[in-house]
Amino acid sequence: MPVPKAELHLHIEGTLEPELAFALAARNGVTLPHADTAALREAYRFSDLQSFLDLYYALMAVLRTPRDFTDLADAYLERAAAQGVRHAEIFFDPQAHTARGVPIGTVIEGLAASLDRAEERYGVSTRLILCFLRDESAESALATLEEAKPYLDRITGVGLDSAEIGHPPAKFAAVYEEAARLGLRRVAHAGEEGPAAYVREALDVLGVERIDHGLRCMEDPGLVERLARERIPLTLCPLSNVRLRVIDTLADHPLRQMLDAGLLVTVNSDDPAYFGGYAGDNYDGVRDALGLTPDQLRTLARHSFEASFLEDDEPRRARYLAEVEAYTF
Ligand code: ADE
Ligand code: ZN
């Protein structure tokens, strides 16, 4: 069994495997532009973040009913559990669905039906994080948070994703302020393709508690020192970085330097159906490419639970951490 871990950077729409995409397309009478699953897999050659996002949003056309979202989450949780994931904090992109006429309630209720049974079925505890699309307007983000208000008991926090460059965190100051007022936790993608300055801005203007990716913080030694001192977690996604050409190969990933700098880094899968692997595959990838020791792998697993939003269930966090310490590599 793989080391127990939490997954903190996972877009549920990015877990849509080609086989499920075609099954849902058939169920919903949607025609996909690809001939079959093999042809679709051929399209998974990305040159940058935008080239991936174009396909990611296009394939969402097959997600229409609550059951579609339930099936999507069930499929993810089963795969994640098999790779040692014990706790998953799951992103979803409501605007990508409401823009297609799928109500936010369909998305949240569909996901919740899966998450409600995840512990008993897969042994995975879960949280939901609502993400705003940063290439949409600040007003649209505020309207989305408003639409989510009837479902806030299901939502742990808010995040910020989609095309990063040209959409700095400060654009979303008002919606993050409102999210904080509502008692929601705050995270944001920053420093994936965008500059280290976006990481600083996410911390200073949005008040985020974790940075998703944050890879480019390494270009700013003062920022690295601050992230380490303040114990701000970074949710890294190594296979994603290679597939989206943020780095050339896994061997070029700065994870070891980040660990050496005392950063609270975690390893996650981002959009596993598109990037060639789930959480455990990402751990195995960096272990092999970077020669990580069992001690370093244990540190990554420990970090994942330390960085998780389990403040509402500290006994559970303690149990998970004990499982990590007891694990033999
Ligand atoms: N949406 C889904 N995956 C993403 C990523 N890696 N970066 C930004 N937005 C995303
Ligand atoms: Zn992401």
Asked about 192 being catalytic, the answer comes back as yes
Residue count of the chain: 329
| 270 belongs to an annotated ligand binding site | yes
Measured CA to CA, the distance from residue 243 to residue 293 in angstroms comes to 25
Q: Quickly list DSSP for 45-95.
A: --SSHHHHHHHHHHHGGG--SHHHHHHHHHHHHHHHHHTTEEEEEEEE-HH
The confidence score (pLDDT) of residue 86 equals 98
pTM of the model: 0.98
Nearest in space to 230 (alpha carbons), one of 207, 253, 257, 197? 207
Give me the domains of the chain, ranges plus CATH numbers.
5-323 (3.20.20.140)
Measured CA to CA, the distance from residue 141 to residue 131 in angstroms comes to 9
Say yes or no: CB of residue 14 within 6 Å of ligand 1: yes
Pocket test for ligand 1, best of 8, 13, 51, 52 (most atoms within 8 A of CB): 52
Ligand 2 geometric centre to CA of 326 (Å)? 30
- Which of 13, 17, 192, 201 is catalytic? The answer is 192
Buried b (16+ CB within 10 A) or exposed e, 147-166: bbeebeebbbbbbbbbbbee
The single-letter code of the amino acid at 267 is V
Pocket test for ligand 1, best of 189, 240, 274, 282 (most atoms within 8 A of CB): 189
| CA-derived radius of gyration, the chain | 18
The single-letter code of the amino acid at 314 is E
The confidence score (pLDDT) of residue 324 equals 98
Could you list the pLDDT tens digit for every one of the 329 residues in the chain? 999 999 999 999 999 999 999 999 999 999 999 999 999 999 999 999 999 999 999 999 999 999 999 999 999 999 999 999 999 999 999 999 999 999 999 999 999 999 999 999 999 999 999 999 999 999 999 999 999 999 999 999 999 999 999 999 999 999 999 999 999 999 999 999 999 999 999 999 999 999 999 999 999 999 999 999 999 999 999 999 999 999 999 999 999 999 999 999 999 999 999 999 999 999 999 999 999 999 999 999 999 999 999 999 999 999 999 999 999 99
Nearest in space to 193 (alpha carbons), one of 164, 161, 217? 164
Ligand 2 geometric centre to CA of 9 (Å)? 6
Q: Residue 160 pairs with which residues in a beta bridge? A: 132
Ligand 2 geometric centre to CA of 90 (Å)? 10
| 271 belongs to an annotated ligand binding site | yes
Asked if residue 52 lies in contact with residue 46, where contact means CB atoms within 8 angstroms, the answer is: yes
Asked if residue 124 lies in contact with residue 77, where contact means CB atoms within 8 angstroms, the answer is: yes
The confidence score (pLDDT) of residue 227 equals 98
The confidence score (pLDDT) of residue 307 equals 99
User: Which atom in ligand 1 lies closest to the alpha carbon of residue 192?
Assistant: 7
Say yes or no: CB of residue 11 within 6 Å of ligand 1: yes
Three-state DSSP class for 86? strand
